[in-house]
Structure 1
Amino acid sequence: MKIDKMGWIEGSWKSSGEKITIQETWTRNGAHSMMAVASIYEQDKIILFEVCTITEEKGTLILRIRHFDNQLNAWEEKNSPKLLPLIKAEKNRIYFHGYTFEKNGKDQMTLYIQSTPKDQILTIPYVRI
């Protein structure tokens, strides 16, 4: 699969919940990849930062994620980002292992995150900003 299938995600997005706000920006480059930087905060306090990449590798896509606290201390091991392979792609949904991106319109998307240990689905609606 080509990175072009994810082109609609490029840009800045925001999700506002009861307590937390998420802002993230996805950029695309000419190296068959995309990257995002996200901040998750509650009122004026940063809870965490997240850096993501989606890369074309051997005919498929790989999503990599690293989390950092508000002092930029990594949550994951030094050389061990979360590595989430592509499961399948549909017209408006891209399924990675545990993460699904759904295009709900030109300026709306939903991210579904399967969390463990209870296999709950966290639903995060975003609007383009």
Structure 2
Amino acid sequence: MRILVLLTLFGFSLGNAQNTHQLKEGQQSPKATLDDVQWITGHWRGEALGGIAEEIWSPPMGESMMFSFRLVNEDKVSFYEIGHIIQVDSTLLMQLKHFNGNLKGWETKDETVDFKLVKLEKDKVFFEGLTMEKVNQNEMRVYVLIEESENPQELVFNYKRYQ
């Protein structure tokens, strides 16, 4: 609900859901390793939600790739995310937590937002409701499914490598 409120506050419009996928009932996540998604590593920035969105991804280490995200509007942090993609058995799982600009958490203490792996393509990884696509060496596109209304919509982040 908070994402929908932020979208409304910043006057952001969404596109129809075409780039994100869900696992079918009973379907298992495919086999994958962090090497399959290490192209995400780096410092990424772009305009989104009326401000500047930034993601910083670490290279694989310790069966995980950690990341931080922040959205800055009018020189103030609107919210943060911290999370990781982890190796779970023979597949990948993305998990994250949200925080207000003052670091007050959105989810409860032990709760995370989880995105199971749906499929991999060359330079593209599909998690449930979240797709990351390598456009080229210096550009990445992230699609996030917003299901807060009757019509699920996709939010698109267009990032460029920063520094």
Go from structure 1 to structure 2 and tell me whether the alpha carbon gap of 1:105 and 1:52 turns closer, same or farther (over 3 Å shift).
same
CA distance in 1, matches of 2:61, 2:52: 30
Please, which of 62, 82, 94 is the counterpart of residue 113 of structure 2? 82
Aligned residues: 129
What secondary structure, in the 3-state scheme, does the structure 2 residue paired with 1:13 have?
A: strand
Q: 2:146 aligns with which of 91, 95, 115?
A: 115
Q: Structure 1: which 4+ aligned runs deviate by more than 4 Å?
A: none
Counterparts of 1:112 and 1:64, CA distance in 2: 16
CA RMSD of aligned residues (A): 1.2
| 20-29 or 4-13, which deviates more | 20-29
> Following TM superposition, by how much is the alpha carbon of 1:30 offset from its aligned partner in structure 2, in angstroms?
2.4
Higher relative contact order (Cα pairs below 8 Å, separated by 6+ residues): 2
Name the counterpart of 1:91: 122
Bigger Rg over Cα: 2
Secondary structure at the counterpart of residue 109 of structure 2 = coil
Structure 1 distance, partners of 2:123, 2:37, is 10
Q: Structure 1 regions of 5+ residues with no counterpart?
A: none
The Cα offsets for residues 6-38 of structure 1, whole Å up to 9 and x where unpaired, read as: 111111000124721111110124212101111
- In 2, distance between residues paired with 1:103 and 1:110? 7
More strand per residue: 1 or 2?
A: 1
